[in-house]
Chain A
Amino acid sequence: MTGNVEVLATGPFAAVQDLGRPGLAAVGVGRSGAADRSSVRLANRLVGNPETHAALEVTLGGLRLRVSEAALVAVTGAEVDVRAGRRAAAPNGPVVLRAGEELVLGTATRGLRCYVAIRGGFDVRPVLGARATDTMGGLGPPPLAPGMTLPVGDVVAGQPVVDLAPLARLSEEPVLRITPGPRLDWFTRTALSTLVTAGYTVTADLDRVGVRLDGPPLDRSRSGELPPEAAVPGALQVPPSGVPILFLADHPVTGGYPVPAVVREPDLDVAAQLRPGQRVRFALSREG
């Protein structure tokens, strides 16, 4: 499959993402890549792509594309109405577009980020081995804008074999499992119990870097500044306000605020779908 895709509308924010640039943190480059990694992998598998192909990450929906040639696409992630040409189409399965037809995503009704894969992948120029848009580091392709044209690649993994991937619905009030972080001892004994018993509200201050929460503060048992140290996705970083910020895909490579707890990696896909105003809870996990 070849040809190209013209971007007609993007919604609030849309960008090309793959699985990112692992292994470069020592030179100040974060992994970046899809915030919800299982959804971008699924979208690629549904159209017969390698999971590492670049897809589109669409925040809150509102994307409109036109394909120059016949194409096979799949939409995963947040719940959203999908139209292919004049036809209603189902998410979580392959969707055929004829040459010149549009793919239109409505507004996401549950969850935040949709993923659009196309058979052959979006073949934008890789930077440092990946096509991910790193909003913090300013690496990779620019965010999508109307009028932009994206080339479609021709490398595939095989034929699509599934018509529909059955998935559990995203929870209205998800529980994110955490494990103790490196600086739990900078906080009072009650901080961890506050974190796992109180619920938190997702604020509108969220992006690919992280999610600022609102809720009871976690009190510090020691003052002083922490010299910068490396962070990981899922780190709950606690600024002077005491209310944690949850780091997502484009988190800073190093951070200067203490991290008392870390969200488990499998739950980060759920965290990437949190919407402003939504409630979220944390639960202590025994395993990493």
Chain B
Amino acid sequence: MISVLPYGGSAVLVESQDVLGLQAALESAPPAGVVELVPAARTLLVRFDPAVVEAASLTRLLSSVSAVDVATGTSDVVTVPVRYDGADLADVAEVSGLSVREVVSLHSSASYVVSFCGFAPGFAYLTGLDPALHLPRRSVPRTRVPAGSVAIAGEYSVVYPRPSPGGWHLVGTSSLPMWDVERDPPNRLTPGTRVRFEAV
């Protein structure tokens, strides 16, 4: 079930159960006038050139697009080595009623997929986190979280691409560079990328 919501003169917001599948469908057959797709948790922002296509006709077209199946995607798996030494590891274990070893095991045995990027350049929200580790964010965010911090919050895990403020629970550290503006593309993880964490 797709619904298409208005979002100004050059974008519409599409609600979908399968955002990445919808994005893949639109990328394989781009409708005329569409200039950018921005996936998020439950929505896909479709930016268009109003000189090429009208919002009304694009809305009709998008309402009839079927998502393609990307669940078994062929994209490469990025393996992220993690030292499970995060400052919040013990707290996470305590709040979720697990041992530290169990937290590490649950976090490093799941398969993750990049759902979307946001918050900061290269900040990739990974879905696939074991429900036992779904926790609300820290009540007091840190003013600075170092680059490479592996963290969890809500249904997501993340590797901080660059130092930034943050309210996520820090469970480990990775030395794998996630973001480099000299590289094209600058981000290692894009929506749809599959990820595994490997304890080192």
Contacts and interface: CB of A to CB of B under 8 A. Distances in A.
Contacts of A235: 7-8
Contact of A230 (B10, B43, B55): B43
A6 interface: no
A137 B39 contact: no
A29 B185 CA distance: 12
Interface in B124-160: 124-125
Interface in B1-51: 5-11, 13, 35-43, 45, 47, 50
Interface stretch (A100-108, A160-168, A177-185, A203-211): A177-185
Contacts of B42: 227, 229
A179 B7 CA distance: 8
B170 interface: no
A40 B11 CA distance: 24
Interface stretch (B68-76, B78-86, B92-100, B111-119): B111-119
B176 interface: no
A280 B40 CA distance: 31
Contacts of A29: 121, 186
Contact of A181 (B6, B116, B118, B164): B6
B57 to A, nearest CB: 13
Given A23-B36, A229-B40, A229-B41, A28 B6 contact: no
Specify which of A227, A262, A265 lies most central, judged by the most chain B CB atoms within 10 Å of its CB.
Answer: A227
Given A228-B118, A253-B117, A25 B38 contact: yes
A238 to B, nearest CB: 15
Contacts, number: 119
A182 B5 contact: yes
A12 interface: no
B7 A26 contact: no
Given A230-B13, A230-B40, A26 B191 contact: yes
Given A28-B119, A28-B120, A254 B5 contact: no
A230 B119 CA distance: 10
A287 B8 CA distance: 9
A232 B11 contact: yes
A28 B45 contact: no
Chain A interface residue number, banded: 20 to 34
A288 B9 contact: yes
A252 interface: yes
A139 interface: yes
Given A28-B187, A139-B181, A288 B8 contact: yes
A210 to B, nearest CB: 15
A100 to B, nearest CB: 35
B119 A227 contact: no
A26 B47 CA distance: 12
Contact of B40 (A22, A180, A254): A254
A224 interface: no
A182 B6 contact: yes
A234 B184 CA distance: 29
Contact of B9 (A23, A139, A229, A264): A264
A26 B39 contact: yes
Contact of A26 (B5, B13, B37, B186): B37
B197 interface: no
A232 B185 contact: no
A43 to B, nearest CB: 24
A287 B13 CA distance: 17
Contacts of A182: 5-7, 13, 43
Contact of B7 (A23, A28, A232, A254): A232
A229 B13 contact: yes
A232 B8 contact: yes
B190 to A, nearest CB: 6
A288 B10 contact: yes
Contacts of A25: 36, 38, 45
Given A137-B120, A182-B13, A288-B6, 14 more contacts: A23-B36, A26-B190, A28-B122, A28-B187, A128-B181, A137-B121, A181-B7, A182-B43, A228-B41, A228-B119, A229-B43, A232-B10, A232-B11, A234-B8
Interface of A: 22-23, 25-29, 127-128, 137-139, 179-183, 227-230, 232, 234-235, 252-254, 259, 262-265, 287-288
6 contacts: A22-B35, A23-B35, A26-B190, A29-B186, A138-B162, A262-B7
